[in-house]
Amino acid sequence: MLLAPVVWLALVQHRGVFPDGLQSPDTIQDREEGAPSEGERLEREAQRPGEAEAEERRPGGMRAPDRYFLAQRAYPLGAIPLERWRAAQVAAAEMRAASRGSAAWTFRGPTDIGGRVTDLVVDPNDPQIVYAAAAEGGVLRTTDGGQHWTPIFDDQPTLSIGALAIDPVDSRVIYVGTGEVNPGGGGVAYGGAGIFRSTDSGASWEPLGLEHTGAIGRIRIDPTDRNRIFVAALGLLWERSEERGVYRTTDGGETWERVLFVADDAGAVDLIQRPDDPDVLYAAIWQRLRQPESYDYGGPRCAVHRTTDGGETWSIVGGGLPAPNPNDGRIGLSLCAAQPNVMHAIYADRTGYFDGVYRSTNGGFNWTRTSDGSLAGVYASYGWWFGNVRTHPVDPNRIFVLGLDFYRSTNGGSSWTNVGTEMHVDHHAMDFGPGSNPVMYEGNDGGIYRSNDGGNAWTFLPDQPITQFYRVALVAGNPNALYGGAQDNGTVRTLSGQIDDYTNIFGGDGFGPLVSPANPNHIWAQYQYGGLGFSSNGGSSFVDATGGIGGSDRRNWNSPIAQDPTDPNRRYFGTNRLYRSVSNTSWTAVSPDLTGGPHSGNAGQVNGTLTTIGISPLDGNVLWTGSDDGHVQVSTNGGASWTDVSGSLPDRWITSVRPDPFLASGAYVTISGFRWNEPLPRVYRTTNRGVNWVSISSNLPDAPVNDLIADPDHPGWLYVATDVGMFQSFDGGESWSAMGTGLPNVVVTDLEWNAAERVLVAATYGRSFYSLDLDDVAAAPETVAESLGRMLPPSPNPVERGTWLRWEASSGAFSASVVEVFTASGRRIWSERLSSPGVNEVWWDRNDDQGRPVGAGIYFARVRGTEALPAVSITVL
């Protein structure tokens, strides 16, 4: 028999842990008689390859950041070909630039939930002006102390941000280091695209290189020489690379020199510089490497390094700091600006447990561990997710530790107080305004907070459009209502459609919500690994809703749930099997294992779980499933029998199976992942229940496709959500164009369709919700390429010594005047002005404008006159 369900109350908004007395996600799960206990299940799961990180547990049952985002895109290669992602970003940008007359996307919020913030910088001249780095949402700017925030980085190659800096002479000059250093969530998949600079407070940007550094943890600008800048580069998370360490420029970013390199698996995560002696810098080196099936976040190369000559030479710092050893992990650094002899360092061990806060009062030559016993749990078991300490700029005895919780000492580390009890957990960022009693801003997984009293009280700031959503759900009969499952912010909703009145109704990480089309008070919501709750009272309280689901079933981090469009009282839920609802809280299996089974070894990056469910709107007996290990199955008799129809599909993570609204035997499949050396089609169609599949990817960018909607009113009209934006087809996938305007360059994870209003709603991973009125989408937009001409494939390509860049014009009005070559981040490295209007080919010798050979990688060439032709990619060996 099943245990009695336990009522689970909704969490306090903006608080990421489960308050004392309330049941955690793990404890509300009913289990079948004879199933393993919770302790046994955790012990067994912790032994699985690839599950180690997922089982690092937070207080109250919450789990540490998961590998889901990376695994989805890396399967089965084990890593992501970064150059292919960069090529897809450029192709998507070209398609957006080429579209004319597209409808505009509407921002739908939330702005009052927040999302992960990785860095903050306050204008040294005006504490009302602040810049915030969002993990996957770009850069925000406020000019009124945080009451309103404006995104200022939306069109750049990546919105994953690691670090910010303001020029000490001209505060209109802003530097952005892309690529989040915290190894969890979406940022682990792609990393960054280097350093960018704005000279007009974010109105425009220029790339400054370091495209291959993966993630940037800190930027320090010499206060006596604004052209000398130091960058802490952590490198790619999921592969060894030599683009790690500390970089220096002496010409404002025109050229860079790596001045500290330790190893190809150890990069710089933090950096401090003495304001009174800018030649003295301390760098925190972090040894880390991750694969989808395993991770290692520490080792003997973790250490603090010091230079006293501006980066020419470095040495490991001792004097009381832990000697480098195999158990070392992430390190964070800070100093007091007014008294820079006072420095602090925070340590985690290799697993992620807290390993001490150290203090120096003589400029880093001698260190003493503070009385930090009360901080033993500040990192839980995943200190690699935080790793930051801050010292008050005027009072060296005020120290702030940023971890799972947020602690302060006012006496140099002799005692500590938790000052973050009313804040969201998981703290990453903090900065101070000018003056002796500065205003303070703090950033965590729930957004940005402000304190005016030295950190005693904190206020959540409004207008933050940076929520990371996995799924979206709509409500029949209420076109204004939106439900979403958000990373580290639970299940949130608005019933009014306002962007600033969302509330949290279910805790943990939020995934696929579902609202009954027959009764809007009946709501299902999820947390990690298929934890499912049901509310019969509109979300006021929830009971466990996993009755009948096998305790030994495998469940995805983001488990699928689907409403039968032919029966308002029937729903489906996926583990490694498909379940159909018996009641609101119980289920019965209608399939065997529909995956490739449990996985181990390199394939352990996937678990053999269902990821998507499709039910034909024309025949409720036609069921489809897709799995994380590439299996697509179909049943035509309501689950009585199943056929695996994935034989001709690529072995990739299945992101969606959408039945054809006009053909009961038809369906569309979208996939994630990459290939190493060639494009991977990611959208397929069948008209005969999977006997045959045809690629309809056509000219889509070479990036993962996460969802698809087939317009039920127009045969052949398709809309797809990808890692590089939204695209549409009006001819069944024969050709695609960018969909709409005004959508940031952000990963779109999920789509829902409001049939009554003909509105498409998109969930983004880092910029909340957007919607598009499809009545404004009447036909395929005209493209610049069709009206002006096109670039021809470079020859040869790949390139060893050089290549011919060729083009043709279809309009006499177009005349080429310059040929340009760019890096993947958009930095122009070579150009040649044309003297004759009749020229249509130019030889590029793979050198830059200074005659230096460019490194291996993906580059892009275009021809420009009054307008530019869409670019073509060049692979340099």
Whether residue 312 is predicted with pLDDT greater than 60 in this model: the reply is yes
What percentage of residues in the chain have a pLDDT greater than 70?
A: 89
What CATH number was assigned to the domain covering residues 473-783?
2.130.10.10
Whether residue 262 is predicted with pLDDT greater than 80 in this model: the reply is yes
Q: What is the mean pLDDT of residues 730-751?
A: 94
Q: What is the mean pLDDT of residues 430-434?
A: 97
Q: What is the mean pLDDT of residues 241-246?
A: 96
Position 845 confidence tier, pLDDT thresholds 50, 70, 90: very high
Query: What was the pLDDT predicted at 823?
Result: 80
Q: What is the DSSP string of 616-654?
A: -SS-TT-EEEEETTS-EEEESSTTSS-EE--TTS-SS-E
Distances (CA, A) of 555 to 486, 531, 574, 596, 783: 18, 9, 8, 14, 44
Query: What was the pLDDT predicted at 837?
Result: 66
**Residue 432: other Cβ atoms inside 10 A:** 21
Query: What was the pLDDT predicted at 295?
Result: 80
Tokens of 434: 């000018």
Q: CATH topology of 117-460 equal to that of 785-876?
A: no
Share the mean pLDDT of the chain: 88
Whether residue 41 is predicted with pLDDT greater than 60 in this model: the reply is no
User: What CA–CA distance (Å, rounded) separates 253 from 826?
Assistant: 15
Q: Per mean pLDDT, which of 96-100, 602-606, 710-714 is the most reliable? A: 710-714
CATH topology assigned to domain 785-876: Immunoglobulin-like (2.60.40)
Query: What was the pLDDT predicted at 20?
Result: 28
Given a contact cutoff of 8 angstroms between Cβ atoms, the answer to whether 747 and 115 are in contact is: no
User: What CA–CA distance (Å, rounded) separates 51 from 609?
Assistant: 14
Q: What is the mean pLDDT of residues 308-331?
A: 97
Whether residue 58 is predicted with pLDDT greater than 50 in this model: the reply is no
Please state which of the ranges 151-155, 337-341, 811-815 shows the lowest mean pLDDT.
811-815
What percentage of residues in the chain have a pLDDT greater than 90?
A: 73
User: What CA–CA distance (Å, rounded) separates 168 from 835?
Assistant: 43
Q: What is the mean pLDDT of residues 656-672?
A: 97
User: What CA–CA distance (Å, rounded) separates 515 from 519?
Assistant: 8
Query: What was the pLDDT predicted at 28?
Result: 30
Query: What was the pLDDT predicted at 835?
Result: 72
Bridge pairing between strands 195-198 and 206-207 = antiparallel
Residues 288-303 pLDDT 10s = 988 766 788 999 999 9
Query: What was the pLDDT predicted at 59?
Result: 33
Q: What is the mean pLDDT of residues 605-632?
A: 96
Query: What was the pLDDT predicted at 91?
Result: 87
Residue 700 burial (CB < 10 Å; 0-12/13-18/19+)? buried
Spatial CB neighbours of 182, under 8 Å, sequence gap ≥ 6: 65, 116, 118, 135, 384, 385, 386, 387, 428
Query: What was the pLDDT predicted at 42?
Result: 31
Position 438 confidence tier, pLDDT thresholds 50, 70, 90: very high
User: What CA–CA distance (Å, rounded) separates 460 from 405?
Assistant: 16
Q: What is the mean pLDDT of residues 741-750?
A: 94
Please state which of the ranges 550-564, 730-744, 811-825 shows the lowest mean pLDDT.
811-825
User: What CA–CA distance (Å, rounded) separates 488 from 621?
Assistant: 36
3-class SS at 60?
A: helix
Helix (H) or strand (E) holding 823: strand 818-823
Whether residue 18 is predicted with pLDDT greater than 80 in this model: the reply is no
Q: What is the mean pLDDT of residues 83-103?
A: 81
Q: What is the mean pLDDT of residues 76-82?
A: 86
Tokens of 303: 């250490």
Domain positions in the chain are 117-460, 473-783, 785-876
Torsional class of 210: left (φ above 0), alpha (ψ -120 to 50), beta (otherwise): left
Whether residue 785 is predicted with pLDDT greater than 70 in this model: the reply is no
Q: What is the mean pLDDT of residues 658-685?
A: 95
3-class SS at 769?
A: strand
Whether residue 372 is predicted with pLDDT greater than 80 in this model: the reply is yes
Please state which of the ranges 153-162, 746-755, 856-865 shows the lowest mean pLDDT.
856-865
Residues 447-505 pLDDT 10s = 999 999 999 999 999 999 999 999 999 999 999 999 999 998 999 999 999 999 999 99
Q: Tell which wins on pLDDT, 45 or 649.
A: 649
CATH topology assigned to domain 117-460: Methylamine Dehydrogenase; Chain H (2.130.10)
Query: What was the pLDDT predicted at 244?
Result: 97
The C-alpha angle 453, 457, 460, rounded to 5 degrees, equals 115
Q: Tell which wins on pLDDT, 389 or 23.
A: 389
Comparing C-alpha atoms, which of 656, 754, 657 is closest to residue 712? 754
Whether residue 106 is predicted with pLDDT greater than 50 in this model: the reply is yes
**Residue 565: other Cβ atoms inside 10 A:** 18
Please state which of the ranges 273-282, 488-497, 736-745, 868-877 shows the lowest mean pLDDT.
868-877
Query: What was the pLDDT predicted at 343?
Result: 98
Query: What was the pLDDT predicted at 185?
Result: 66
User: What CA–CA distance (Å, rounded) separates 348 from 328?
Assistant: 7
Distance of CA 170 to the CA centre of its chain: 31
